[in-house]
Amino acid sequence: MGFVRKVWAIVAKDVAAELHTREMVSAMLVFSVLALMIFSFALDLRGTVARAAAPGVLWATVAFAGTLGLSRSMAREQQTGCIDGLLLAPMDRSAIFFGKALGNLIFMGVVEIVLLPLFSALFDVPLLRPGVVLVTALGTVGYAAVGTLLAAIAINTRAREVMLPILLLPLAIPALVAAVQATGGLVEGATMSEVSGWTRLLVAYDLIIVAVSMLTFGYVLEE
């Protein structure tokens, strides 16, 4: 079996499990809507305030909702004993990494597909633009990659889920700063080339983080 097919088998397994239980995506979605409400109360998101705060609110919501899905995805592997099966299977650890990271990317992506139009409608902010979608995708790739690695670490600690945000958020700062700035620029009507510094930083973050997470992931899984 080729590398891509192995990765795909893991992704298909995660998607099938999620379609069956729907616990991860639904939890992230409900959390996101709740977060939007809380932000709306906290910042009184109307008119120009909403426009100015939109990128920050959007990314804070994505980041916090993401930690829910990421830790759940790894916890499920452990509870079902599926991780042992994956480790016994004749494949490279990097295939497990890409499978899990891609699955997490898909689940976060589904949440974002709902979140972007909802956000635009609720706060009257033009987020449904190709540029914003691209920036969202770029920001999520790196976040899901490093999140997959750190979730595998966090789930094996005493504090479990509590550990993940503490480990993940400081490492996600470059991606969050770049994504918020790029989204903010695009919302204010900047062109893609005007925010290219930020998108290039996002691409660099994604490449470096995916490579390093892939290399270290094998050492994090139990022997």
Partner 1 sequence: MKSRWDGVGIVLAALSGVAVLAGLGMVFFYAPREATMGDVQRIFYFHVSSAWVGFFAFFVTFLGGIGYLVQGQRRWDILSLSSVEVGLTFITMAVVTGSLWARPAWGTYWTWEPRLTISAVQLLIYVAYGMLRTAVESPERKARFAAAYGIVAFVTVPLSWFAIRWWRTIHPDVLTGGEGMAFTPRMGHTLMVSLAAFTLLYFTLLRQRICLERVVGRLLHLRLRLGSRR
Cα(106)–Cα(102) distance, integer angstroms = 6
- Work out how close the CB of 110 gets to partner 1 at its nearest, in angstroms, rounded to a whole number: 26
- Work out how close the CB of 92 gets to partner 1 at its nearest, in angstroms, rounded to a whole number: 16
- Work out how close the CB of 146 gets to partner 1 at its nearest, in angstroms, rounded to a whole number: 6
Question: What is residue 91's DSSP assignment?
Answer: S
* 29/59 with CB nearer partner 1: 59
Cα(176)–Cα(183) distance, integer angstroms = 10
* 32/104 with CB nearer partner 1: 104
- Work out how close the CB of 142 gets to partner 1 at its nearest, in angstroms, rounded to a whole number: 9
Question: Please, are residues 121 and 181 in contact by the beta-carbon 8 Å criterion?
Answer: no
Ramachandran category for residue 34: left, alpha or beta (phi over 0 → left; psi -120 to 50 → alpha): alpha
Ramachandran category for residue 160: left, alpha or beta (phi over 0 → left; psi -120 to 50 → alpha): left
- Work out how close the CB of 65 gets to partner 1 at its nearest, in angstroms, rounded to a whole number: 20
In order, the DSSP letters of 103-134 are HHHHHHHHHHHHHHHHHHHHHT----SHHHHH
* 43/177 with CB nearer partner 1: 177
* 21/157 with CB nearer partner 1: 157
* 122/190 with CB nearer partner 1: 190
Binding site for partner 1 (CB under 8 A): 146, 149-150, 153, 156-159, 163, 166-167, 170-171, 173-174, 177-178, 181, 197-198, 201, 204-205, 208-209, 212-213, 216-217, 219-220, 222
Crossing angle of helices 23-43 and 3-21, rounded to 10°: 70
